[in-house]
Structure 1
Amino acid sequence: MFYEAVAYTAVGLHFAFLALGLLGGFAAWRWPRIFWFQLAAAIWLVLVVAANLLCPLTWVEDRARARAGLPAHEGGFLANHVAGVFYPVGHERVAQAVAALLVLSSWAGLLVVRRRRRRAGSPSPSRRPSPDRAARK
């Protein structure tokens, strides 16, 4: 029972990490500091897919499944838990392109949000100086 819970926890953490990597840029619109975590997650996701690296969470899930007596999964997390659920099996490249567009659009939106915040925070030429500034002059 314990190892089964570890395997399912690893799957849950995988989904959370995938969500951070894909959608964290949108969360950064509200919480800008999360961007660096999202960037690291996105880089890791690209490396895992491009270099066919084994994710540590997949390793944990596989070992826990074996110790729990559950059948082994062929392939990694994406093949077993994402393909066929979030995109049709056999359309991995299309799903990767959509994921890349999602991440890049969140980053573009973050740039727009940051520029708007900077403009709103900086005094424009048409604004009057604040009372504190007028008193100092």
Structure 2
Amino acid sequence: MIYRLLADLMMVLHGAFLLFFAIGGFLAWRWPKLIWVHLAIGIYNIVNVTLDFACPLTGVEKHFRREGGEVPYEGGYIAHYLDGRVWPEGATPIAEKVGFALLIISYVGFFVLRSRRKRRATREGSVVTRT
């Protein structure tokens, strides 16, 4: 019972990991320190997609499913849970491109906002008050 619960927890955490990959850069617009976590996740995903290796989160989930008496699914998390459900079957390469486009757009926006904030702070800090 506990292993099935742990497997389900890993499934949810993996989904949150992927969701954060898609929108975390935009969240960093509001909470700038998140950019470092998002950058690490972005680099990890770029390496994973480029080298096409099995995600350790999937491996942990499958381990818990086996320990819980279930037969783990074939393939990876995205193919099992998202392909054909969240987007049309076979469109995973397009979804990956959309995810990486969101990453780039969010980073451009992050640096534009950061630059504007710095300029505004510099301008406000350089105002001389007269007495």
Corresponding residue of 1:11: 11
Flag the structure with larger Rg. 1
Distance 1:16 1:29 in 2: 19
Corresponding residue of 1:26: 26
CA RMSD of aligned residues (A): 1.7
Deviations 1:78-123 (A, max 9, x none): 1111212221111122111111111111011101110110121012
8 Å CA contact 1:22, 1:103 repeated in 2: yes
Compute the displacement of 1:128 (Å).
4.1
Corresponding residue of 2:100: 100
Distance 1:106 1:96 in 2: 15
**Mapping of 1:61-100 within 5 angstroms?**
61-100=61-100
Distance 2:61 2:106 in 1: 30
Corresponding residue of 2:122: 122
Q: TM-score, normalised by structure 2?
A: 0.91
Percent sequence identity is 35
Distance 2:127 2:22 in 1: 43
8 Å CA contact 1:22, 1:42 repeated in 2: no
Q: Which runs of 5+ in 1 are unaligned?
A: none
1:57 maps to amino acid: L
Which ranges of 4 or more aligned residues in structure 1 deviate by more than 3 Å? Answer: none
Q: TM-score, normalised by structure 1?
A: 0.87
Change beyond 3 A, Cα 1:121–1:94? same
Distance 1:4 1:36 in 2: 32
Q: Which runs of 5+ in 2 are unaligned?
A: none
Q: Secondary structure at the match of 1:32?
A: coil
How many residues are matched? 130
8 Å CA contact 1:28, 1:34 repeated in 2: yes
